[in-house]
Amino acid sequence: MYDYGEACPISKATTVLCERWTLQILREMMLGATRFSELQRMLPKISPSLLNSRLRQLAEHEIIVKKRIPEQRGFEYHLTPAGKSLQPVLMELGKWGMRWIFDGMDEPQLDVAVLLGHMAAVLNIDELPACETVIQFTFEDLDEASQRFMFIKDDKREVCDENPGHEVDVYLRSTFKTIAGIWWGDIDVRAAVANGSLKAVGSSVYTKSLPRWFPVSQFAGENPRRGEMPARSALGVAQNC
């Protein structure tokens, strides 16, 4: 860690927090990741050794705590009060980045698993029936593994490449670019449904309420181009009651 050698709270904080990947690790923990494997999945570009090093540093500064999983092998990582108190700091940093730095989607940097994982973490479960919900995504512009499945039950949210046998409640079909555009706020979800760039098939309890539960980034509201990206031709929404 770099020591600025200043008697300044900003310098002291950045000495700890501004190491590579540290803020991204805290971001994922604030979205619910507690295990090493979960952090690896949501941060695919960080090496296991560097992830271990950053977790160790965060624990040494009592920003997170490492706890053995009861009656299982392995450990979990949890935010301490010091770690939890960083949430508004990261939120304001993200808002600033979206407003002043983020300039649209850089498609080579987009990752399907990461995007859907973030979407699952903030999906509005209060607008879904109080039971297990399975959502199937089909991406028209991906050559391989074009389908992904999102499982929601109580506080458990999981994204999988394959459906292990659950009944699908709502089928969503679109391009990955459109889904990412909705997530970042470039495309309004209602407009995408109205002109068919996002197609939904399923029980009307899911399709009619889709604009209320479909997740968008916590920072979408700061997007200076919010809702500006044009959608495609109108195909409507199919409903099976």
Q: How does pLDDT run across 195-205, given as a tens digit for each residue? A: 999 999 999 99
74, 24 Cβ separation under 8 angstroms: no
Average pLDDT over residues 98-125: 86
Q: What is the CATH number of domain 9-85?
A: 1.10.10.10
Encode pLDDT of 51-68 as tens digits: 999 999 999 999 999 999
* Single-letter residue type at 71: E
CA distance 37 to 46: 12
**Would you state the pLDDT for residue 210?**
96
Domain coordinates of the chain in residue numbers?
Answer: 9-85, 107-222
Is-contact 234 199, C-beta < 8 A?
no
**Residue 82, CA distances (Å) to 30, 61, 86, 129, 212 in order:** 12, 9, 7, 35, 33
> Phi then psi for 158, rounded to 5 degrees?
-140, 140
Least Cα distance to 152 among 119, 184, 115, 182 occurs for 119
> According to CATH, what is the number of the domain 107-222?
3.30.1050.10
Q: Report pLDDT for 237.
A: 39
Residue with the two structure tokens 């009307």: 204
What pLDDT is stored for residue 234 in this prediction? 34
